[in-house]
Amino acid sequence: MTADAVRAADDAGYLVGPYDSWANAQDPAESDAPTSTWPEGVYPGDCVIGADGRPKAGFHDRGCYLSSQAIADNDATRAYLDDRVKEMTANGATSYFLDVDAAGELFDDYSPDHPMTRAQDRGNRIERMGRLSEEDGLVLGSESAVGWANQVIAFSHGSLTPVADGLWAVERDRENWGGYAPGERSQVLLPARDPARERRHGHVRPRLPGAAVPDRPARRGDQHRPLGAAPVQAPPPGA
C-alpha cells in the first residue's frame, strides 16, 4: 500500500496496516510467503522441537512453527524484526496485524538450544506484542485473540472461533476436516466431521456438571456458530 493510499484511508477514518506473522519459517529457497522467509540460520535452527525430537510442522505443513524463545534469545533476530516492522510501516501505517501470536496455541520446546515451556511462550508473545503496541505505538491486532492477550492488542479477527487447544489439532486432520480454500466452499463448511469424542465435547458443546452431551458428529458450522445461536435454515419453497 502506498503512502498516498494510507493517507486517504486515514482521512476517510479507516485503520489500515500490514499483515505479518512471526510464527512460521520455511526454507528460503522454497518459501511461499515473504513473512516466512528469515535470515540464515533461523530455519531450521529456531523451529519448535517436539518431544519426539522433530520440528513442529507449521500451518498446513508449511515449514515449521518458530520458537518464540529462540527469537527472544537472539539479538540479531530481534533487530531484524525491528527493521521488518519499520519497513512494513514506512508508508505511514499506524496499525499492524500480527497473525497467530494471540490465538492461544502455545508450545513446549524441547530443543536443547532454546528450551521453552508454554508459560514462557505466552510471556514471550505478550512481550513482543507489547513492543509493537506500546513502544512502537501501533494499533495492534491478532488472530482469534484469547483473554491473556487483551493487555497488548486493540482488536482481534476471528473472535468467535472457540478457544480450545484441541481445535487446532482437529483442523490439521485434512482427511476429516478438509481444506481452507476448496474449489467448492460448501464442501468445507457443511459436511459432518467426526473428531475424537473428547475434542468434540471440548469445543462444540460445553461440558457442564451432570449434563448429558449428545454423541454425534460435529459439523463445521457448529464450531463457528456462537453457543446458543440457532442454525441457519433454508428458505421455504417459493420464498
What pLDDT, in 10s, does the model give residues 214-228? 444 444 444 444 333
Q: Are 81 and 129 in contact (CB under 8 A)?
A: no
- Give mean pLDDT, residues 225-237: 42
Side-chain-side CA neighbours of 60 within 13 Å: the count stands at 5
Distance CA 150, CA 233 (A): 35
CA–CA distance, 99 with 132 (Å, rounded to integer): 13
Length of the chain measured in residues: 239
Neighbours of 160 (CB within 10 A): 12
φ/ψ bin of 41: left (φ > 0), alpha (ψ from -120 to 50), beta (otherwise): left
Q: pLDDT tens digit string along 88-119?
A: 999 999 999 999 999 999 999 999 999 999 99
Mean pLDDT (whole number) for 116-124: 98
Q: Check pLDDT > 70 for residue 57.
A: yes
What pLDDT is recorded for position 33? 94
* Grid coordinates belonging to 194: 467426526
| Gyration radius (Cα) of the chain, Å | 20
Least trusted range by pLDDT, from 16-20, 211-215, 220-224:
220-224
Residues 10, 89 contacting (CB under 8 angstroms): no
Q: Are 57 and 68 in contact (CB under 8 A)?
A: no
Q: Tell me the whole-structure pTM to 2 decimals.
A: 0.72
Task: Report which of 6, 38, 5, 9 is spatially closest to residue 21, judged by C-alpha positions.
Answer: 38
Q: Which residue in 40, 138, 111 sits closest to 80, CA to CA?
A: 40
